[in-house]
Structure 1
Amino acid sequence: MTGLCDSVATVRTDRLVAILLMLQRREQTTAAEVARELEVSERTARRDLDALAMAGVPVYSTQGRGGGWRLVGGARTDLSGLTASEARALFLVAGQASAATPAVKAALRKLVQALPEPFRVQAEAAASSLVTDPQRWGSSPVEPRPPRFLDELQDAVIRGVQVGLGYLDREGAVTERTVHPLGIVAKGPSWYLVANTDAGRRTFRIDRVTSTTPTEDPVTRPADFDLATSWREIADEVDRKRTPLEIQAVCTPPGISILRIAFGNRLEVGGPTTDGRIEVVIRGHNEYILAGELAGLVEWTEVTSPPAVRDRLASIGNALVKLYN
């Protein structure tokens, strides 16, 4: 699965599903035909076909004149030629909860209905088992590196079984607990397990996992659980804890786009004021850092509270005048 996660980062999910549907409709297709139909280069088409094969989807190529790509066993609209592991591989590579477009999700739902009954549950679980959030906490995007127990935990998510988890906490103590795995998230360079526990829903850094012992006990999974939605809530809560200070300000309309670039999800845009400006709330680590970030935005933004940030901005302004007068 590690190699599969790497391939997901470089291949568009909508093309993979479209290629599979082409192979189902036709006895054989070529990279040139795929490129023409999907409006991509032949090199991209070959890479996508190779990615499907490497992921375990039952496709193969024949060389020479009249060669091309085929599904093992020929085109099968009912997908009955897939094994359980092949079905899981397909939905892992094509169905990431964070990457699939609405059209892809609709296609995947149709493909699920075409699968043999025993494969459906795990294929659906594979499609929703992983979310990739490329933005590292407070920094730039970084390619995530799979940790030691990633494959075992993702397998437990897909099979829907509880896991005995050894975990190294922040104080350096190893604890043991039984968890109900719900999904895996790659956040920047770190990987997380989202799971239910006796104490409620929790998030575990997978590089702190010291052991995994899958059980045969089924996971208790909330009926309305969605991994992507759950992770957004978790990430928002973490961001709020990391940026506890809130300031109120007003901004000119042209400055709103600049504030969005500067503060991202730390910015909340409100309604207009009587003078035509717009109310905003901005979160930051503390008054010193936040005032420093805002000092270069005074052309568009005026802080209204708290007073400590206004005082700090005035101090920065005085220092700038003294230095550059």
Structure 2
Amino acid sequence: MNTRKLEPSSCRELLAEYRASGARAEAPERIPFAEVGEKDVYNIAAPLLDSGREIIPGRVESRDSEHSMVVFFAEEGGRWLPLEGAPVLELQDPFHCRIGGKLIVGGVEIYPHPDNEGALMWRTVFYRGSGLSDLEPFFKGPDGMKDIRLVELADGEVGVFTRPQGRKGGRGKIGFARASSLDGLTLELIEDAPLLEGQFAEGEWGGANEAHLLQDGRIGVLGHVACFDEAGDRHYYPMAFVFVAAGAGCSKLSIIAERSVFLPGPAKRADLQDVVFSGGLLRRTDGTAVLYAGISDADAQRLVIADPFAGL
């Protein structure tokens, strides 16, 4: 992926490029979560390692509600069950990374809107610890901002991907800033982060979901790009691009999967059927990667794709 000044392509154009590319998408699999009652598990992250076990964080939620919990699941007997002794966080859309040897876990917190009675507001919150057993909250992002993601840079500083909306970001655009350390995170740093150029067409939006430090010091970003159609239905696609922190330049984003390459399944609402929310990538040495994703706000699946950062 070469970096250059970009003109944004629409979701329709990006989807046409993806379909024309013959991109690999194989072995779709529904992840069998259990012991959550009648609730759905969706918008999962890729597995993290804790005490030698693979653990999947997932958003657990009733079909008719937006109030959710993040539960940590471990595989047992072919099913993924809530991990005994792990915390349960009142968050949506979990993510994780490691910085300075610490496990960082985050998600979206919803709370009553301070100026609009009956409405909800949201923000991204972060926990850190040596593992799941001692996670402690340490930072809350700006009100109204989802999809803040962190990555440890080659020089030891912390890269911060942001997603402002409104006057600065419209429906949602990606920004980037650097912090000297986790303790250097501030609301001002996040709110002032410059936007990346040329990523989203007018009226469309997106965000970062996971960041990978590549061997050459660049950052591979897994994210999503989204739009409405004429009927008002939402369309979300997993995408990826490469970012150069030193020069604040990025490659053109590319769609890396779509709803039809996953298994059929339920949707939370009719307007959410064509929604794939990128959760994380497990990159493999054979040039492939396993993409973990939330499907239609009601399901969680994974499938094998070509690693979008292979060779970088």
TM-score band w.r.t. shorter chain? under 0.3
TM-score (norm 2): 0.24
Q: Which has the larger radius of gyration?
A: 1
Q: Which of 1 and 2 has higher RCO (CA within 8 Å, sep 6+)?
A: 2
The structure richer in helix per residue is: 1
